[in-house]
Amino acid sequence: MSVFTEVPQAPPVAVFKLTADFREDAHPQKVNLGVGAYRTDECLPWVLPVVKKVERLIVEDDSLNHEYLPILGLPEFRSAASKVALGDDSAAIKENRVGGVQALGGTGALRIGAEFLRRWYNGVNNTGTPVYVSAPTWENHNSVFADAGFKDIRPYHYWDAANRGLDMGGLLDDLEKAPEHSIFVLHACAHNPTGTDPTQEQWKKIAEVMKRRHLFVFFDSAYQGFASGSLDKDAWAIRYFVAEGFELFVAQSFSKNFGLYNERVGNLTVVARDSENLGRILSQMEKIVRTTWSNPPSQGARVVSKTLNCPELFAEWKANVKTMADRVLLMRDQLKSKLEALGTPGTWDHITQQIGMFSFTGLNPQQVAFMIGERHVYLMASGRINMCGLTSKNIDYVAQSIHEAVTKVQ
């Protein structure tokens, strides 16, 4: 008998199970709206032209080698990544109170930040500090903080299903009622899965309550530039909170905006009260990294670093990002127009009011089951779709499928 006989079978990760089911489907008109990755209008992955260019530069650079990077990562990557999040004119950067930790994607940045907070925030090893995540949120948020040892993970109001928009009243009420020093995970832009973001005025109200109530801000920034096409616009909330004097963390992912999904390029930006505090924080994060992955990989970080630190390459990257963002915006406009032309019951304004890769359609689980089972259109049970899965060739079929789901299934 195996010593592992009592190990239970874990359930599959929903989004990857959905992709596996899609691959096994032989239907000629099948559509995958589940996977969280960009696709061209030919429904193919896109290697950004600037990434191809920089990869060639790396290959031809004889000064590079495969020696270990510093434990906290490639210095020029970390500083450039933090500057993208906070802005070239960031006072916090000029005051030497901003640091970065290179991580294995956004998930790695979240995990290092969560592990540090559990060890050193609101007391030592305080597993009882409440951690609030939006309802709904990216499924990994709950798991990352739970696996870091936090015992009290709570939802905060976010999605108003009836009005298909932000539940601002519920969100502010939860902020007011949360115990002081609670941790709030905020989506910097392009909220996953709803695609619904606060306005700038709403962000100001959120910041006012969080400052008054002494709540800790942990931004998850996975879509900067990808949401609106503007790096600055998508980072507005982060920069506002920093300008308001918050000490905070920002988990950055370069998977979406660089198309480097399998390179696992992330950065944890730390904004501290002063440089002395920053030094102590990074010293503890270095110890966490040492026993987690010891040293980060170099390839993806070099691609991002060389791009961000060269004005010409940086400009080309911004144009590449805007290409992706513009295609998503076009698909939003077309899907809304086609649903309205079909006379699909309900309002579909939320399709264009939302932003980023994902849209929360408002379809219920029974309608989703119809979409998958009868129409071979694959989407998450929550009704979330990846707008990048829509193309000029399949959008009519998808719109008709949504129309039938809404009219035939209650």
Map tokens 């503007």 to a residue.
Answer: 230
Closest CA to 211 of 181, 169, 250: 181
Residues 6+ apart with CB under 8 A from 304: 77, 80, 81, 254, 258, 260, 265
Residues 6+ apart with CB under 8 A from 56: none
Rounded distance between C-alpha atoms, residue 368 and residue 30, angstroms: 14
Closest CA to 409 of 373, 380, 357, 379: 373
Contact 226, 256 (CB under 8 A): yes
Residues identified as active-site: 138, 220, 256
Helix axes 49-60, 299-308, angle to 10 degrees: 110
Rounded distance between C-alpha atoms, residue 44 and residue 54, angstroms: 21
Closest CA to 253 of 266, 235, 271: 266
Strands 131-135 and 153-157, sheet pairing: parallel
Contact 159, 384 (CB under 8 A): no
In single-letter form, the type of residue at position 359 comes to S
